Structure 1
Amino acid sequence: MQVETSSSKYGAKHYPDNIREWKKEGNYFCFYTTETILEIRVIADKIIRFRYAADGTFQRDFSYATSDTMQESPITFGIKEWEETFEIFTDALRVFIARDNLRITISDKDGKVINQDEMGFHWQHYLLKGGKIQYCSKLVQEGECFYGLGDKPTELNLRGKRLENFGTDAYGFQKDTDPLYRNIPFYYGLHHGIGYGIFFDNTFRTIFDFGKEREDACSFWARGGEMNYYFIYGPELLEVAESYTKITGTPELPPLWALGYHQCRWSYYPDTRVKEIAAEFRKRRIPCDVIYLDIDYMEGFRCFTWNKEWFPDPAGLIKELAAEGFKVVVIIDPGIKVDPEYAVYQEGMKNNYFCKRADGALMEGDVWPGKCVFPDYTNPEVRDWWSSLFKSLAETGVRGVWNDMNEPAVFEMGTFPEDVRHDYDGEEVSHRKAHNIYGHLMSKATAAGMKKYLMPNRSFLITRSCYSGAQRWSSVWTGDNVSSWEHLWLATVQCQRLAVSGISFTGSDIGGFIGEPDGELYTRWIQLATFHPLMRTHSASNETGFNQEPWSFGPDYEKVVNKFITLRYKLLPYLYTTFWQYATHGTPMLRPLAFVAQQDTTAHNCTHEFMFGDALLISHVSEQGMKEKAVYLPAGNWYYFWNDKKYTGAQEVTVPTPLEEMPLFVKAGAVLPQYPEMQYTHETPVTEMLLHVYYGEQEVKSSLYEDAGDHYGYKNGQYNVIRFKQHSTPQQFHLKKKFYINYETAYKNHRIIVHGLPFQPTVVIIDGQKTVLSAENLQADNTVSFVVERSFEEIIMNKE
């Protein structure tokens, strides 16, 4: 073991020396130096796990991030010995381990370097706190870009940044505020058109440096724990994203209503005010599915209670709202009020369920109820107890839960002191190790309880803090943002980054939580949020009594806001299909341009534009009074959604941005399914599914996924997958369809709307049968509309 003198604060730096022996067992390879052991585990042909025992002893192999469904599936692998290196190979990768210092070089099978150690693994004793600081440094490749790390409020490309993961209640955060609420130690690298990812599974405070300290070095380290990371090869970035979710898991499908519009405020009370808000939505015919209750619905902010004065009949209220198509989501925080008369406190104390300090005293701190204690969610018995508490809420009719303040946040103290002790599923650790997964495990226990007691219906959960893998059970939002144009930009950046970090089900507080937007800012935010998987307005209480509902800014703005919320509901079949792709394959719902055009270096630093699913490209209006906007389109052909004007990609185009529009493009060749207008999901059975088909000469595949939109029948095969393929020419429009059908829909027909035909047909051929088109089927712009049976398989239109 090589030792380098360093600051006495941390102790000397230690580096591995030469390999003395090695062994192979199954898909494990172990390399032994004087003190350090390197374990390389071939998870799959493109996923390799690297794990180091600094002093020759591995810690417990345990993770709160990895999914129980993760399978190790290497097809071909082996090892070769060379004079200076060992080489572990798979069908896709070559991993070279230097004999003299354990440094790693990873190439593809053709020898192109993908990732290479600089100093590689090294460590220091953490003399002040105990344990070891675990480091790994990599060479930055020429032109390399970096992405990922969850909710960081900065440019998408992280090159030149240093960032850390330590869950923090960052009220009113600004651009470049760090750390924030979530802890996602996963990043991407992209260079020479090659994409890869590194997932550093360590729950201590972790730091990532992407060439800030030294331009030629990328490094990551943790102040404790173990150097344990997964290397994930693409070469496509979207492949990396999908492989990451093979490790950390994919979500179940949410209830369809959770993809509708959510209305929230701190706070809607009493119950008469909640009814007024609901009635106003229906009166104004603004679609909405969800109303939230913030902390004021509780009795003195005691979790799992109801304020008897303001909500004397919660079950009756929720039943009344349900009759109008509304679901209710309530907030639950981790702080349990210290009150001997409070049943939750009594039970937790009786069973020793609350966190304690190192000397055995209870961890106490002030939050909304006053002095509180906090459950130790790292104890599986406590998680089971916490889950059981949701029975009463579920029986009252609550359909979703909102976990807040779970970084954990504590007034004045900020968060828990480091000496707080945790069970950590039997390991007994300090808060230094448990901090970054505290909210993660709270949300996991919450989700388990709601799922159990709402069965067979699907539940909904949103959490503020989490760790890698939370996508398996929860959605998130970007936190306590501000009513400003800068925060509108931050919303698009953060939601894109969270999506490629495994958590697609995300959104921001529309209009900003802190402050008061004007009508223009709120409207532009609604437009952006229409294309975020979670669409929720949320705002804080304030002295002026200002409310932030879709009608709060006057009729001109209300009209545009309603237009976009209505569009959201029309696009639900597309959105739900995109969520199905995410739930099935781990494909991010929001895709930065670098992830869909990684060979195009111009796309690498685009932040305003992103893909929402396979077919839609969005760019929000980012400045007050903006009359037009330049938008970069990746290669291919595109239609402007509002007027079907065609654009050629791989260039920047400028489009007008009147208040009633935002830059929105459809990929040529795509099939975009839509519902008729509705006020809430399942308002009435859908009698006709619209298919907007955009003419294109390149072969383009599209999908439509359908199920009941609630309950778990889809897991037993009760769903439909319809796949479309369009490959047209200037002389012929050609659409083919294949399908798996095991769910009976209410509609029997499709209305086909073909956009952009270069000719005006007189006949449509459906499954070989000719039908003459009339003037009613043809529009002046060559848009063609006609009705077909749902079971059609092929449509052809020829130039006469």
Structure 2
Amino acid sequence: MITNTDLEYKGNLYPNEIVDFKQETDKIYFTTANGVVLQITVLRNSMIRFRYTTEYNFEPDFSYALNKNGLRGYDELNVNETATEYIIQTIRMKVLVDKKTLRTQISDPAGNIINEDELGFHWEENYEYGGNIVKMSKITKTGESFYGMGDKATHSNLKGKRISNWVTDQYAYGKDQDPLYKAIPFYVGLTDNKAYGIFFDNTFKTHFDFANEKRNVTSFWADGGEMNYYFIFGPEMEKVVRLYTDLTGTPELPPLWALGYQQSKWSYYPESRVKEIAKNFRDLKIPCDGLYLDIDYMDGFRCFTWDKKLFPDPKRMISELASDGFKTIVMIDPGIKIDRDYWIYQEAMKNNYFCRRGDGPLMHGKVWPGECNFPDFTNPKVRKWWAELYKEFMADIGVHAVWNDMNEPAVMEVPSKTAPLDTRHDYDGHLTTHRKAHNIYGMQMVRATYAGVKKHVYPKRPFVITRAAFAGTQRYACTWTGDNVATWEHLWLANVQVQRMCMSGYSFVGSDIGGFAEQPDGELFARWVQLGIFHPFCRVHSSGDHGDQEPWSFGTEITDIVRKYIELRYQLLPYLYTMFYKYSKEGLPMLRSLVLYDQEDPQTHFRTDEFIFGQQILVCPIQEPNSKGRRMYMPRGKWYDFWTQEVVTGGMEKWIVADLDKIPLFVKEGAIIPKYPVQQYVGELEITELFLEVYFKLGIENSTVYEDAQDGFDYKKGRFSLRNFKLHGKENELIIQQFKDGTFATTYETFKIKLHGLPFKIVTIIIDNEKVSLTDVMFTGNNTLEVTKEFTTLQIIGN
């Protein structure tokens, strides 16, 4: 039996009895006889920070992950002392700190224990590098479940898993392979129908054991740094995710075109090939907004250069593509070719912007250009320099967006796949090595890229993509799940990984549709497109060495199916844009796993396939070949089959027919789904009418439509249109109320409203207390109305 009075057990050191206590407003300090200090900071009623140090001293308090504009403050804080413990209490939770062991226990106001230490904080001296390996172990309750942790390629419920966070270039990774490209040390625990979250804000390599080694213990530890974690109490899972997302930040609204369909390949060149791809999209009337140029557009893979043989006049080409509705996105990697005639290399050398090894020489590694040096993006001067490098690309040549790849950083032909651990970094004045800076290297690169793109595409909005990420990177860039494979297993993985990322505060995410490595057949490609159009980031990307992977590459039948779903994506853009608005403004995840949607239903706790797109559309992809349908779990409530309009009651599994041209798709009763007409690209058409698909419900349901100018920053000055609809269905009446906010004037003046599932025949329509003629507003026979967008109350009365 271990007691914390034993200062050492199996190489681990433990705190002993508390000998000093003090409070400084929202910070409470406990010091033990053997020099451990626990700092507890109350940030919100439902959020508390736990920070431990040994030898009495904390390191400077610095974090790349945190959102400086996050909400702080609480209503009430009381600290009391008993003979055996200290009690810290807010209006939402209570923390007990044991006087003998420094262990903590957290409960809700009713006294239900939510989370408690097992061994609690302990540490092990790191004799090789100095400092400590810091550890925390928690008691795992029977039936407790765990979710989150970024892009992990495994089952959505992490119970029984052991994983690590060390951003890694994992080409053609497999199921359960770990680690991958993201390091997001945040998980959601669900126990006794109460949810909490833990964010371990430590950028060293971190490890999590979710009741793997011991079924009643969950633990997390880091190879260095501090034991510094944030505890967030729900009890609703969605609240936990929202509070974490507020803590680490959300992106600004992207330009609407960034939510359109995008086409990429390694690589499209020369210019004639890019033009051919663009022409095929328009000739075949398959909507597309973005075309990507991978590394081959560069001169010898030198960043910020063009191969003038392949692309003799990039400014003209980009302008011509833009006139046909295509935005051009280019790749920029971190490795700078060692070349004395290369001006960027010369500038970086002159200003000492490259990373150096522990003993002084420049850190170098092989990437696509050959031997490269790597800028130290943790240095503010380097970030400022890097941002300015985008001026020519964005402001002069007209590039629309930037894609940062290989920014783990990936290094070829070395076992570690990355920079040596003794590589030095400025770390914003907190000098350190790659052991601490590795997980945030890509984040700081894309932070600099975002600053440059934002400055030089102004007054338009920036759009940036990254492969590597740490918690908080969502503030700067969208992302994707990396170099996947064209297999059915990877289709399943893409579904789970995107759901997991959304639960981890990073909603602007997608996968390489169709698979990056290897070649899909037409069926797999079609099924992947059906899933991908319901991911916030929608891009086909492939390695290209196995064959073509454009929508028309698999024959007429597949082309027609793919077109149908890309068109659906464009119809749903106002719904998707509203989802993004709620994510940006309120931290609401854009996709919800079923457990996040309904944690009270135990059937959802291990579901992986089904998810909620936004708040009102249920999606369940087909993930096996030759399928004519599938069994899926319908969450509680009533749902309209999107294709047949049949109303299905949830809370059970159902067999759903879905031939190759169908994906199981359902709409929540009471929902009002906004739609645009099909466009070949965002902005092609002036929207003259907003379509509202209204799904009758006996009861009340709320829906929202957000719109603005689709680009630019006027929305921040109130030039937006926010419409909140309240639907109230009765036996012989349907009432829709509209509440408006914002000063943006939409280009349309009317709504075309299609009523689904109306249980009565319409006999009277009243708009704002005035009866109107049915012939003035109704289309014959299909329950479709045309009404002014300015109505406040619409009453539809039947018999």
Question: Could you say which TM-score interval applies, normalised by the shorter chain?
Answer: over 0.9
TM-superposed CA distance for 1:737, in Å, is: 1.0
Pairs within 5 Å for 1:217-228: 217-228=217-228
CA contact (8 A) 1:675 1:689 kept: yes
1:534 matches 2:537: yes
Question: Across the two proteins, how many residue pairs are aligned to each other?
Answer: 792
1:321 matches 2:324: no
Which residue of 2 is the match for residue 292 of structure 1?
292
TM-superposed CA distance for 1:733, in Å, is: 1.3
Q: C-alpha separation between the residues in 2 aligned to 1:5 and 1:796? A: 73
CA contact (8 A) 2:7 2:15 kept: no
Which residue of 1 is the match for residue 335 of structure 2?
335
Q: C-alpha separation between the residues in 1 aligned to 2:480 and 2:386? A: 23
1:447 matches 2:450: yes
1:652 matches 2:647: no
Q: C-alpha separation between the residues in 2 aligned to 1:775 and 1:176? A: 60
SS in structure 1 at match of 2:729? coil
**1:170-220 residue CA offsets vs partner (Å, 9 max, x unmatched):** 100010010000110100000111011000000000000000000000000
**1:696-731 residue CA offsets vs partner (Å, 9 max, x unmatched):** 123111100010110111111110110011121222
Bigger shift: residues 758-767 or 100-109: 758-767
Which residue of 2 is the match for residue 48 of structure 1?
48
Pairs within 5 Å for 1:330-479: 330-394=330-394, 395-413=396-414, 414-479=417-482
CA contact (8 A) 2:718 2:742 kept: no
Q: C-alpha separation between the residues in 2 aligned to 1:297 and 1:763? A: 63
CA contact (8 A) 1:2 1:14 kept: no
TM-superposed CA distance for 1:763, in Å, is: 2.4
Which residue of 1 is the match for residue 28 of structure 2?
29
Q: Amino acid of the residue matched to residue 12 of structure 2? A: K
TM-superposed CA distance for 1:4, in Å, is: 5.5
Which residue of 2 is the match for residue 14 of structure 1?
13
Pairs within 5 Å for 1:203-222: 203-222=203-222
Q: C-alpha separation between the residues in 2 aligned to 1:736 and 1:657? A: 36
Q: Amino acid of the residue matched to residue 176 of structure 2? A: D
Q: C-alpha separation between the residues in 2 aligned to 1:344 and 1:128? A: 37
Q: C-alpha separation between the residues in 2 aligned to 1:609 and 1:352? A: 51
**1:358-409 residue CA offsets vs partner (Å, 9 max, x unmatched):** 1111111110000100000011111111111000110211111000001110
Which residue of 1 is the match for residue 644 of structure 2?
643
Give the TM-score normalised by the residue count of structure 1: 0.98
TM-superposed CA distance for 1:798, in Å, is: 2.1
Runs of 4+ in 1 over 4 A off after TM superposition: 1-7, 774-780
**1:572-592 residue CA offsets vs partner (Å, 9 max, x unmatched):** 000000000000011100110
SS in structure 1 at match of 2:282? helix
TM-superposed CA distance for 1:775, in Å, is: 12
Q: C-alpha separation between the residues in 2 aligned to 1:791 and 1:253? A: 25
- Could you list the runs of 5+ residues in structure 2 that have no partner in the other structure? none
Q: C-alpha separation between the residues in 1 aligned to 2:294 and 2:75? A: 51
CA contact (8 A) 1:118 1:217 kept: yes
Pairs within 5 Å for 1:614-625: 614-625=615-626
Which residue of 1 is the match for residue 257 of structure 2?
257
Which residue of 2 is the match for residue 270 of structure 1?
270
**1:343-364 residue CA offsets vs partner (Å, 9 max, x unmatched):** 0000000000001111111111
TM-superposed CA distance for 1:2, in Å, is: 4.3
**1:408-455 residue CA offsets vs partner (Å, 9 max, x unmatched):** 100012111111111111121111000000001000000000001111
CA contact (8 A) 2:721 2:746 kept: no
TM-superposed CA distance for 1:16, in Å, is: 0.8
CA contact (8 A) 2:5 2:17 kept: no
SS in structure 1 at match of 2:600? coil
SS in structure 1 at match of 2:643? coil
**1:143-169 residue CA offsets vs partner (Å, 9 max, x unmatched):** 110000000000110000000000100
SS in structure 2 at match of 1:702? strand
Q: C-alpha separation between the residues in 1 aligned to 2:779 and 2:289? A: 36
1:799 matches 2:767: no
**1:271-307 residue CA offsets vs partner (Å, 9 max, x unmatched):** 1110110011000000000000000000000000000
SS in structure 2 at match of 1:700? strand
Which residue of 1 is the match for residue 105 of structure 2?
105
CA contact (8 A) 1:762 1:772 kept: no
- Structure 1 pair 138/259, CA: closer, same or farther in 2 (3 Å)? same
1:488 matches 2:491: yes
Q: C-alpha separation between the residues in 1 aligned to 2:325 and 2:483? A: 28
Q: Amino acid of the residue matched to residue 652 of structure 2? A: Q
Which residue of 2 is the match for residue 123 of structure 1?
123
CA contact (8 A) 2:708 2:721 kept: yes
SS in structure 1 at match of 2:582? helix
Q: C-alpha separation between the residues in 2 aligned to 1:643 and 1:679? A: 27
1:501 matches 2:500: no
- Could you list the runs of 5+ residues in structure 1 that have no partner in the other structure? none
- Structure 1 pair 106/5, CA: closer, same or farther in 2 (3 Å)? closer
SS in structure 1 at match of 2:648? strand
Q: Amino acid of the residue matched to residue 560 of structure 1? A: I
Which residue of 1 is the match for residue 607 of structure 2?
606
Q: Amino acid of the residue matched to residue 301 of structure 2? A: F
SS in structure 2 at match of 1:728? strand
- Structure 1 pair 379/585, CA: closer, same or farther in 2 (3 Å)? same
Q: C-alpha separation between the residues in 1 aligned to 2:430 and 2:724? A: 49
CA contact (8 A) 2:764 2:798 kept: no
Q: Amino acid of the residue matched to residue 361 of structure 1? A: P
1:668 matches 2:678: no
CA contact (8 A) 2:8 2:14 kept: no
Which residue of 1 is the match for residue 229 of structure 2?
229
TM-superposed CA distance for 1:129, in Å, is: 2.4
CA contact (8 A) 2:5 2:101 kept: no
Q: C-alpha separation between the residues in 1 aligned to 2:120 and 2:501? A: 28
Bigger shift: residues 736-745 or 522-531: 736-745
CA contact (8 A) 2:778 2:786 kept: no
**1:607-644 residue CA offsets vs partner (Å, 9 max, x unmatched):** 10011111111000010011111111111110010111
SS in structure 1 at match of 2:18? coil
**1:218-270 residue CA offsets vs partner (Å, 9 max, x unmatched):** 00000100000000011111111110122111110000000000000000000
Q: C-alpha separation between the residues in 2 aligned to 1:156 and 1:297? A: 38
Q: C-alpha separation between the residues in 1 aligned to 2:614 and 2:668? A: 11
SS in structure 1 at match of 2:762? coil
TM-superposed CA distance for 1:495, in Å, is: 0.3
CA contact (8 A) 1:505 1:533 kept: yes
**1:527-566 residue CA offsets vs partner (Å, 9 max, x unmatched):** 0001000000000021x5x110001000001001000000
Cα root mean square deviation, aligned: 1.2
Q: Amino acid of the residue matched to residue 157 of structure 2? A: N
Q: C-alpha separation between the residues in 2 aligned to 1:505 and 1:640? A: 27
Q: Amino acid of the residue matched to residue 421 of structure 1? A: R
SS in structure 1 at match of 2:690? strand
TM-superposed CA distance for 1:772, in Å, is: 4.0
**1:755-780 residue CA offsets vs partner (Å, 9 max, x unmatched):** 01111212222222223435994676
Q: C-alpha separation between the residues in 2 aligned to 1:436 and 1:741? A: 40
